[in-house]
Amino acid sequence: ADVVTNGAELLQALEERTYDLVLLDVQMPVMNGLEAARALRDRLPEARRPRIIALTGGTTPEEQAACLAAGMDGYLNKPVKVDALFQVLTSTRGIVQDV
């Protein structure tokens, strides 16, 4: 597992390594989570795209729709609860094939 502090660092990390899952905060400096998700989907070939789960304090249906429209596969409200994390990981498991 690796930790980055903004979307630009995420894109750099994804150029260097392959990840199965990205937990992506929507509110980040430099490049926010929505911008990073769009860039990730545009730059990486489908075989290298990880599942992207949004982490956000936003709770409205519009905020959830924005995350999914940006290319995220799932959505978690903060603070994240273990059972909610398990549920979203289980529900998005088939999105990315084993490489």
Percentage of residues in the chain having pLDDT higher than 90 = 74
How large is the average pLDDT for residues 42-68?
A: 90
Return left, alpha or beta for 7; rule: phi > 0 is left, psi -120 to 50 is alpha, else beta.
Answer: alpha
- How far apart CA 90 and CA 57 sit, in angstroms, is 21
For the chain, the domains span: 7-93
Considering the entire predicted model, what is its pTM?
0.85
**What confidence tens digit (pLDDT) does each residue in 7-28 have?**
999 999 998 999 999 999 999 9
What percentage of the chain carries pLDDT values higher than 70?
Answer: 94
In CATH, what number does 7-93 get?
A: 3.40.50.2300
CA angle 63, 67, 32 (to 5 degrees): 95
User: Residues 68-81: what's their mean pLDDT?
Assistant: 93
